[in-house]
Each structure stands twice: as structure tokens, then as C-alpha cells.
Amino acid sequence: MAEGGAPFLRLDTWLWHARLAKTKGECARLIEGGGFRLNRQPVTKAHARIRQGDVLTYLWREEVRVWRVLALGERRGPPAEARTLYEDVPQTEQ
């Protein structure tokens, strides 16, 4: 989807494509529970827009994870395909 600019995807949908959780509903609950930052800004809305190049920071199993969005994805594919949607950003690069 695009609206007068770069294409975007809902954050919950993108997380589902990236296989962070098994369902979109579970992804939405994770976001609404807090602990996610999109380009350093706190995010608690599942409908937040994520774009290629954005940086997503979140707490996962007591570890801070930082991902740079490489692609939006068109579907929830196999894990190997999901890993092409993002790259891990080393903690020193933040």
C-alpha cells in the first residue's frame, strides 16, 4: 500500500510476514503490550505503518533485538523467505 509516498505495511502484518508470531492477532497483542519502537519512537498501535529502511527495536525473550526492514513482503512464506525481510543491526550501530 502507498499513500502519496513510499509503500508501507501495517506493523502487525509485517511482523506476521517476518514470522515473529504464529498469528496476526498475536502480533497485534505483542505491539499493544508495549516494548516496540519504530525509528526510536514508541509504538503501541498494530496499524502503525512500517516502510523499507525503518528500524524496529523490541524486547524478545529478555533480549533487545534491532532489525532494519529490507522488504515489506507480500505473504507469510517459509522461514528462509521471512529472514529476507530484515537484517539484524548490531547493538553498536544504533
Higher pLDDT, 3 or 63: 63
Q: What is the DSSP letter of 31?
A: H
pLDDT at 21 over 70: yes
pTM of the predicted model as reported, rounded to 2 decimal places: 0.88
Cα four-point dihedral sign 26, 29, 33, 35: positive
Asked if the model's pLDDT at residue 18 lies above 70, the reply is yes
Q: List, for residues 30-81, the tens digit of each pLDDT value.
A: 999 999 999 999 999 999 999 999 999 998 888 899 999 999 999 999 999 9
Distance of CA 16 to the CA centre of its chain: 8
- Say how many residues make up the chain: 94
Residue 6 to residue 94: CA distance in whole angstroms: 23
**50 Cα distance to chain centroid:** 7
Residue 4 is predicted with a pLDDT of: 61
* Beta-strand pair 9-10/49-50: antiparallel
